[in-house]
Chain A
Amino acid sequence: MVLLFHVSIAQELFLVTDPASNVPANSLGVNVQQLLFKEEFKSGYNYHLMPEVTYELNKNIMFRATAFASNRGNNLITEGGSFYTKYRFYSSDDLNSHFRLAAFGRYSFNNSDIHQEQIEIMGHNSGFETGIVATKLIKKLAISSSVSFEKAFDNKPNYSFPDNFGNDATNYTLSFGKLMYPRVYTSYKQTNINIMLEFVGQTINDNGKSYLDVVPVVQFIFNSQARLDLAYRHELLSSMLRTAPNGIYLNLYYTFFSIKKSR
């Protein structure tokens, strides 16, 4: 058995909207995501580190486990984790295009303090999220959109979810990605550059409080194997309490692809 580095799919590999497509079967993806968000109500920055492993069981089902660490308590400490699964249930492909639909679910636990109305089970709240995502690829342009239901629980053992906040929300995303370089492929070694623009919104179901963010992303793909994302998240609109809405992302992704000499 030989182990190789490698990853799949590019201009639809969004930072926020996980596309309806999957990574190759029998592969193991390793991702390290880092977030640095500016605190609104105090000085300084909120740093999050989220290492992640993704396993593709077969061509339709994938699993992902994530660990959450942050410096909200001044030192970098591990606060929780998350399990994610996605099932691709529809796929219609043509030459240089495809349309895919997938259903996904995530369960997270977190022990940090609850400090904002925004529900975010990626590194802030305990809870679950379930939804569907659609992805359309037309030549060099990918468009992906998702809708999901997200519910927050108490951040056990020390922090209950505040009674005056709504504890469930509807999330929606719309993402565009375009392959900018190369215009014509010559080899697998060429660096690819994708640019993306993602819109991310949430409405708290109880009270209608909402936000809408925009996330421009530059993505580099090296050697058709490794991926680097640089992004900036900016709040466009908000009617809810958020402690650190604006910040940057740095994402590094590899897939350890086990090629067994077999059928």
Chain B
Amino acid sequence: MKNILKRYVILVSIFMLLVAKANAQISKAEIRATGLTCSMCSNAINKQLKSLPEVVNVKTDLNTNTFTVTLREGNTLNPKVFKDKVEKAGFFIGSLVLTTKSEISNQNAYILVNNAPKSSTEIQIQVLDKGYVTEKEFKKLVKSYTNVTTYALINEDDFHIKIVN
């Protein structure tokens, strides 16, 4: 009986750990889109983002084409979802800043390129990969991150991030 209880405790602990990892989720995404200046274009992106079930609401600044997307708790979205949605509307991402838990930098898919996470639990990170910054910026970043070997590989499944606050 004691043994079973022990096993149960271990299982629960593992489960809790997994949940903690999954909880290192994105709560907010600030997307600046490129290549557009008209409100219909912007609306196309707005509608695409709202079609995600994880999205609570989308606030738009039409003059800067910035979309602030608030996400449901417990979601497991990664940055690629936003890239796909913006590109489906016919445009591209110029910058993507995510509000997330600081544990995110411990996840395998995320590669931190600047200083280690601060003690605060909530951080803002910018995704630096190709397709998440403007083309000009990407060319500059490739030069400045020659020491980050994975950066220039343009692997769609990992995300290079910079803590912005």
Contact = CB atoms under 8 A, between A and B. Distances in A.
Chain A binding surface, main DSSP class = loop
A9 B43 contact: no
Interface residues of B, number: 35
Contact of B35 (A22, A97, A190): A97
A26 B90 contact: no
Interface in B33-53: 34-44, 46-48, 50-53
Interface residues of A, number: 44
Contacts of B39: 10, 185, 188, 190, 192, 221, 224
Contact of A4 (B38, B42, B47, B60): B47
B46 A188 contact: yes
Contacts of B37: 11, 96, 137, 139-140, 179
Interface stretch (A76-84, A148-156, A197-205, A255-263): A255-263
B117 interface: no
Given A185-B63, A188-B39, A9 B90 contact: yes
Describe B's contact surface by its main secondary structure: mixed
Interface string A7-42: 111110000000001111110000000000000000
A92 B94 CA distance: 12
Contacts of B38: 9-11, 179, 192, 221
Contact of A24 (B32, B44, B60, B63): B44
A157 B62 CA distance: 53
Contacts of B34: 93-98
A63 to B, nearest CB: 15
23 contacts: A6-B40, A8-B43, A9-B38, A9-B90, A10-B39, A24-B47, A24-B89, A25-B88, A58-B88, A93-B94, A94-B34, A94-B94, A94-B135, A95-B32, A96-B65, A179-B37, A188-B43, A188-B60, A221-B39, A224-B40, A259-B47, A262-B51, A262-B53
